[in-house]
Structure 1
């Protein structure tokens, strides 16, 4: 600058004494892909448009509420499990048109479970509205592609995938793995196991999942088994609208009460069930809500039917709940804390009880595809009892918190280092970048994110000619920075050794 001065005087020159600071990126911003009732923002369509929300009320405002889940009543076949009994006959509740119970829309209930378990800001990609067509594979994959231009999401969850046929479900999950581990490399997929509500002795769903998923990008994902019996749906949320044929309900309840010998007041009440043209001025007029409350209290079969429907609707895949757990643990402890040994809210029990011995094959297998167990413990509730990625045999990426911590470190430093693109590739720039990275990693170490008694034990940052770069690298415009970090790993197995000693006194 001295050569530029022309007039005698005093000139002030300010120099930056400190490097840029690194801002830690968000670690728990899941993106949910699925079907919604609506997709509208004050007249503007949100179809296939990633939209950020922060609460369930916002989800309802933009995407509506639950689907209209209805059930048909049919007599039980030989190999079917009865849902309720009326008189001497057993009945099952089925989806209309012969659809299986899994052929339903899961996203809304999944969002309820997500926010119940500590969920916060997230993205919703609505790929369609509720219709008779049901869930389809191509729209789900297209919804995943919509996330390519979004920088903030760090997790991908697709609750509706389990409503597909098993092969299509696996295809969507493989597509999400490719998105996370190959295209973006900065987000983590939480997967559900198709038919994960079944026992492993019943066409083992875990073995089918492991056998079909493949081996690509497994360290960018985790899977959980079994599904969950939740308390999201209450009996008060149900009523006559839960049945396809209300007249069938009235018929069964009348038969239960004695048919023609039933009390006349109950006959009058049942005669009103399902009639849309009831006269409000009639003395016997009752609203649907009043009818529902009376029948629920006086007709055991009616309460059994609603209880069976409630149990069906409350059987949910666990990925959304785990996205909430990830968020809660990240906010309370940090992304470096394994999201395990945590109880699940609004969960009554796992759909399948897993013993200590049964979990061995889930957690450790020769194929390496570790499945995290959700187990019930006496006096403790339902706990997440696993913290492994699907790449369970990898010493580098075995644990969920290790992979997610590394994603956070990489993204934070990548965004901070963009400020030095096209800066002179000289020692002063190298020192600045090293100092910036070292300051950031020191702060992570102080908070318990890196292992080591001192910063020197926890990490090292190298950048320089003859150290990480050759003269040819500099000529070609490369500035290479090498960072070594000692990530903290969970104490997955605690061994306490007991041995008897001689009496000393």
Structure 2
């Protein structure tokens, strides 16, 4: 406390009790993909690519990004500088990242792995899976990542590892976008598309693969995994509508066709199992599913928007209330927390993410002696209980139509 010795007027700056909570980002993606050491890299700015005698000058070209190090990519030109333009040595990852930016993505982190070694096919595939899984660890310390995908990886081991990464108790702020398996069966089932990957509310899976105009040497279409494009759709919807809007009934930009056309009847056998189908409507390739991979025991997390809104709320409140750590555990601090969290949730409610005609109907916050009795305070804990009413997507819009004789009803 300040000491006042001489008579006079003293003006002091007093810290405000209001410490605004800012909403965290929800659309930065993390991609893991294969890029060969031998990919053709672009010229560095202002370089000719040739020595004075007209022979090639390797030092004039960009160097491919190192294996196992996450790289920040903020646009397609940055990707080309780090990993090369679309070509055989990087095609799956490059098409996915191009689709991400083309569909509305703005920032992503990319970790490169080397291709499988030639020779023993089984050993090479096993090593590649191991490398892909290990690369996920490079995203752990990058707090802004909210979406995770390994385009084209459909094995149980890799997809389960992506889900494990997103469910990590120290993270739980990111969501997995998985590619469904390719299948030629007339009526695919959950097992055909998802394989043995486990259920989880922290991920969504999409089927079928898409045509983006890629061709092989013989001119045949090379279908691409949809996860990169879907990450861009998520980002676009987050920007235009908000994270509470399901990333569905949205056109995939750059998609020209589908590897398999699924009818409404065919989707009826996939949708209840959490397989999000991509369908063609009037020439547009459209995302026509909004479910997570949560099983029947997690019905409250059935929809992608529900899980992602909770991730957003949890991370925003976490980051916005760090100031309370080591503060005196007393009513004054409890009041500040209620005020700050309440202001944040009121903003979330006004954006349409919470259900209710008033903030009081949309959420509640409890931080008082009822949740912080002496035993809790003695343990060094300060408990805040928050309840929110989520808005869920109208997955089934039902009109009931009947004949009417007319007149007054």
Q: TM-score range by the shorter chain?
A: 0.7 to 0.9
Please identify the structure whose Cα radius of gyration is greater: 1
Ranges of 4+ aligned residues in structure 1 off by more than 6 Å: 39-44
Higher helix share: 1
Instruction: Tell me the TM-score normalised to structure 2 length.
Output: 0.86
* Count of aligned pairs: 379
Alignment of 1:447-486 (within 5 A): 447-466=351-370, 468-486=371-389
Q: Does 1:401 align with 2:305?
A: yes
CA-based RMSD of the aligned residues comes to: 2.4
Aligned to 1:219: 201
State the shift of 1:459 in Å: 0.8
Could you give the per-residue CA deviations for residues 127-167 of structure 1, whole angstroms, max 9, x where no partner exists?
A: 226864776111101101111111110111001424xxxxx
Aligned to 1:228: 210
> Map of 1:17-416 to 2, 5 A cutoff?
17-37=16-36, 46-68=66-88, 106-128=92-114, 132=118, 136-162=128-154, 169-183=155-169, 184-195=171-182, 198-201=183-186, 204=188, 206-215=190-199, 218-231=200-213, 233=214, 242=217, 305-306=218-219, 308=220, 311-312=221-222, 315-365=223-273, 370-377=274-281, 379=282, 381-391=284-294, 393=296, 394-416=298-320
User: Which stretch has the larger CA shift, 125-134 or 484-493?
Assistant: 125-134
Deviation at 1:502, TM superposition (A): 2.3
Q: 2:194·2:205 contact (CA, 8 Å) conserved in 1?
A: no
Q: Is the 8 A contact 1:220 1:389 kept in 2?
A: yes
Task: Kindly state the Cα deviation for residue 469 of structure 1 after the two structures are TM-superposed.
Answer: 1.5
Do the aligned residues in 1 keep the contact of 2:64 with 2:84 (CA within 8 Å)?
Answer: no
Quick check: 1:392–1:399 contact (8 Å CA) kept in 2?
A: no
Q: Secondary structure at the match of 2:178?
A: strand
Tell me what 2:56 maps to. Answer: none
For the Cα contact (< 8 Å) 1:170–1:209, is it kept in 2?
no
Q: Gaps spanning 5+ residues in structure 2: where?
A: 45-61
Please state whether the residue corresponding to 1:106 is helix, strand or coil. Answer: helix
Alignment correspondent of 1:426: 330
Evaluate the alpha carbon distance shift between residue 172 and residue 200 of structure 1 in structure 2; reply closer, same or farther with a 3 A threshold.
Answer: same
Cα gap change, 1:494 to 1:160, in 2 (>3 Å)? closer
Structure 1 residue 200: Cα displacement: 3.3
Question: How much has 1:206 moved relative to structure 2?
Answer: 3.7
